[in-house]
Amino acid sequence: MGWSVSDIPDQTGRTVVVTGANSGLGAETAKALAGAGAQVILACRNTEKADRVATEIGAAATVAHLDLAHLDSVRAFADEFTGADVLINNAGVMAIPLRRTAQGFEMQIGTNHLGHFALTALVLPKITERVVTLSSMMHQIGRIDLGDLNWEKRRYSRWRAYGDSKMANLMFGKELAARLSAAGSSKVSLIAHPGYAATGLQGHSESFEDVFMNLVNKTPIPQSAAGGALPTLYAATSPDITTGTFYGPTEFFGSRGAPGRSGYSKRADDLALREGLWTVSEKLTGITFDI
DSSP labels, 4-54: -GGGPPP-TT-EEEEETTTSHHHHHHHHHHHHTT-EEEEEES-HHHHHHHH
Q: 33, 57 in Cβ contact below 8 A?
A: no
Closest-CA residue to 91 (of 21, 194, 172)? 21
**Residues pairing with 106 in the sheet:** 100
Q: H or E element: which one contains 113?
A: none
- Classify 86 as helix, strand or coil: strand
Please list the active-site residues: 162
Query: What CA–CA distances, in Å, run from 267 to 68, 160, 197?
Result: 26, 15, 25
- 3-state class (DSSP) for residue 283: helix
Buried b (16+ CB within 10 A) or exposed e, 87-103: bbbbbbbbbbeeeebeb
Q: CB under 8 Å to 54, separation ≥6 — which residues?
A: 42, 61, 62, 63
Q: Are 181 and 247 in contact (CB under 8 A)?
A: no
